[in-house]
């Protein structure tokens, strides 16, 4: 598996759809929603269908083999 890209949180959390947009894993909010509802997004190794899922430092998000590791501010 690929080495994860780090994403530094500005606050306590970020929602799953916002993370996909902020990291470029989705080109738009609509694309992020489609990826999430299609089951293409995993959080900590488990598929998550909630676009409003709150992600915190330590979480790892995977989309099509690309991984993002969340870090605290």
Quick one: three-class SS letters along 13-70? CEEHHHHHHHHCCCCCHHHHHHHHHCCCEEECCEECCCCCCEECCCCEEEECCEEEEE
Q: What is the pLDDT of residues 10-33, one digit of tens each?
A: 999 999 999 999 999 999 999 999
Instruction: Give the pLDDT of residue 48.
Output: 96
What's the whole-model pTM score? Answer: 0.91
Q: What is the pLDDT of residues 52-63, one digit of tens each?
A: 999 999 999 999
Domains and CATH numbers, the chain: 5-71 (3.10.290.10)
The mean pLDDT value of the chain amounts to 94
Confidence of residue 73 (pLDDT cuts 50, 70, 90): confident
């Amino acid at each position: 598996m690929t080495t994860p890209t780090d994403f530094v949180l500005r606050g306590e959390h970020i929602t799953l759809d916002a993370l996909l947009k902020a990291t470029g894993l989705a080109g738009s909010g609509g694309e992020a929603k489609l990826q999430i509802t299609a089951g293409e997004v995993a959080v900590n190794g488990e598929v998550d269908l909630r676009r409003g899922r709150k992600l915190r430092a330590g979480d790892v998000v995977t989309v099509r083999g690309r991984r993002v590791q969340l870090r605290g501010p």
